[in-house]
Amino acid sequence: MVLTRTGAPLELEERPVPVPSDGEVLLRVRACAVCRTDLHVDGELESVRPPLVPGHEIVGEVVSAGAGVSIAAGTRLGVPWLGSSCGRCEFCARGQENLCDTARFTGYQIDGGYAEYTVADHRYCFPIPEGLGDAEAAPLLCAGAIGYRSLRMAGAGRRLGLYGFGAAAHLVAQIALFEGREVYAFTREGDRAAQEFARVMGARWSGSSDESPPVELDAAIIFAPAGPLVPAALRAVRKGGTVVCGGIHMSDIPSFPYSLLWGERVLRSVANLTRRDAAEFLQLAPRVPVRARVETFRLDEANAALDRLRHGDLTGAAVLIP
What x/- string results for residues 135 through 174 when contact with Zn ion is judged by CB under 5 A?
-------x--------------------------------
Q: Considering beta carbons, is residue 36 or 122 the nearer one to Zn ion?
A: 36
Contact 36, 167 (CB under 8 A): yes
Positions in 237-276 near Zn ion (CB under 5 A): none
Task: Give the interface size with Zn ion as a residue count (CB under 5 A).
Answer: 8
Q: Does 317 bind Zn ion (CB under 5 A)?
A: no
CB of 133 to Zn ion, least distance (A): 20
Which range in 85-93, 160-168, 211-219, 310-318 contacts Zn ion by CB under 5 A? 85-93
CB of 300 to Zn ion, least distance (A): 21
Q: Considering beta carbons, is residue 57 or 218 the nearer one to Zn ion?
A: 57
CB of 11 to Zn ion, least distance (A): 22
Query: Is the CA virtual torsion 127, 107, 56, 124 positive or negative?
Result: positive
Query: Is the CA virtual torsion 275, 45, 57, 229 positive or negative?
Result: positive
CA 295 to chain centre: 16
Closest CA to 42 of 52, 32, 27, 31: 52
What x/- string results for residues 100 through 139 when contact with Zn ion is judged by CB under 5 A?
x---------------------------------------
Determine whether 70 is exposed, middle or buried from the number of CB atoms within 10 Å of its CB (0-12, 13-18, 19+).
Answer: exposed
CB of 272 to Zn ion, least distance (A): 9
Which range in 36-44, 215-223, 274-282, 290-298 contacts Zn ion by CB under 5 A? 36-44
What x/- string results for residues 280 through 299 when contact with Zn ion is judged by CB under 5 A?
--------------------
Q: Considering beta carbons, is residue 86 or 271 the nearer one to Zn ion?
A: 86
Contact 213, 190 (CB under 8 A): no
Q: Does 86 bind Zn ion (CB under 5 A)?
A: yes
Helical packing angle, 167-178 and 192-200, nearest 10°: 30
Positions in 37-66 near Zn ion (CB under 5 A): 37
Q: Considering beta carbons, is residue 34 or 237 the nearer one to Zn ion?
A: 34
Q: Rounded CA gap, 277 and 274, in Å? A: 5
Q: Considering beta carbons, is residue 86 or 153 the nearer one to Zn ion?
A: 86
Q: Considering beta carbons, is residue 100 or 229 the nearer one to Zn ion?
A: 100
Supply φ then ψ for residue 102, to 5 degrees: -125, 25
Among 2, 26, 35, 230, binds Zn ion (CB under 5 A): 35
Q: Does 92 bind Zn ion (CB under 5 A)?
A: yes
What x/- string results for residues 186 through 205 when contact with Zn ion is judged by CB under 5 A?
--------------------
Supply φ then ψ for residue 223, to 5 degrees: -100, -25
Which residue ranges make up the site for Zn ion (CB under 5 A)?
A: 35, 37, 85-86, 89, 92, 100, 142
